[in-house]
Amino acid sequence: MSSMRNAVHRRQHRERGQLEGREKWGILEKHKDYSLRAKDYNTKQAKLQRLREKARDRNPDEFAYGMLSAQNAQQGKHGAREGTSLSQDTVKLLKTQDAGYLRTVGERIRREMERLEKEVQLQDGMEKVLGGGSRKRSSEEEDGEDEEDEDMFDTGVKRRKVVFAESREDQKELGRELDEADEDGEEDEEDDDDETFGTQLQKQKQPTKKELEAQRKALQQARAARKLKRRAAEARRNKLAALRKQYAEITTAERELDLQRAKMSNSVGGVNKKGVKWKIRERKR
């Protein structure tokens, strides 16, 4: 019968989906979903109503000796929860595990420090061999080098200088002085040209613009490589300093933990809660 029923074409079951504007609220709620939600809501409301009635009908003269104690048998909402302290052996075991962790971390930091120290020593040695030294160079010195490199490829065009005058008469006077200076300079240049005419013919041919541009690009790449190398060396030194500080902190914490464990085993002295110093004395023989 089931095969016959499946062989017959049946109408496809369709359910209305959630509206497009309400997709953020999830799938469309059917009647069975609403029934479960309403049943849960009504159950909670009935419980709250019973609690309200119980509080309203409470007898103010009611008394029980259990009310004098804040602790009950079930350690419920109003029960006083006492802090459960760990045993001495458990605390010793935990401190032993902490000491092992500190030793592991300290050993890892120490190996990293040794590797960086070797790299820094090799780097300083290379700088001394190349003549650069281990001196730190400031940004002003780097800018000075860049300006010197740019001057090497100067095209010979003179840069203008802006001069401010307070009045019209000062401006005219400055103009006359500049004109006289230009005339004197031209005369000096003519004399120099006459004297050095023979030597200029013997000079080599000046490089072309393409050659100057290629040299400038090569110089920029070399400058960028030097700057990158300098920054990498500085980062290596900073990391080494940070590792040294971290290793010192780990070592201090490990010593403090060893001291606590020794105090717990009564092998060293210390200071009690009242500030009285005490120490372990061996038995006289």
Cα 196–Cα 199–Cα 203 angle in degrees, nearest 5: 130
Please state at what angle helix 209-264 crosses helix 139-152, rounded to 10 degrees: 170
Distance CA 22, CA 98 (A): 54
Distance CA 155, CA 224 (A): 23
H runs (alpha helix) in 57-87: none
Is the Cβ–Cβ distance between 89 and 244 less than 8 Å? Answer: no
Which two tokens mark 208?
A: 């072309």
- What per-residue confidence (pLDDT) applies to 114? 93
Q: Is the pLDDT of residue 72 over 60?
A: no
- What per-residue confidence (pLDDT) applies to 36? 96
Radius of gyration of the CA atoms of the chain, in A: 45
Per residue, what are the HEC states of 179-239?
Answer: HHHHHHHHHHHHHHHHHCHHHHHHCCCCCCHHHHHHHHHHHHHHHHHHHHHHHHHHHHHHH
pLDDT tens by residue, 30-51? 899 999 999 999 999 999 999 9
Is the Cβ–Cβ distance between 106 and 252 less than 8 Å? Answer: no
- What per-residue confidence (pLDDT) applies to 7? 83
**Helix, strand, coil: what percent of the chain each, to 5?**
65, 0, 30
Strand ranges, E, within the chain: 270-271, 277-278
Q: Is the pLDDT of residue 71 over 70?
A: no
pLDDT tens by residue, 156-198? 445 555 666 666 677 777 777 777 776 666 656 555 555 555 5
What is the average pLDDT score of the chain?
78
Q: Is the pLDDT of residue 90 over 50?
A: yes
| Ranges of each domain in the chain | 90-130+219-254
* Span 68-72, average pLDDT: 60
Which two tokens mark 257?
A: 């933990």
Sign of the torsion formed by the C-alpha atoms of 35, 41, 47 and 50: negative
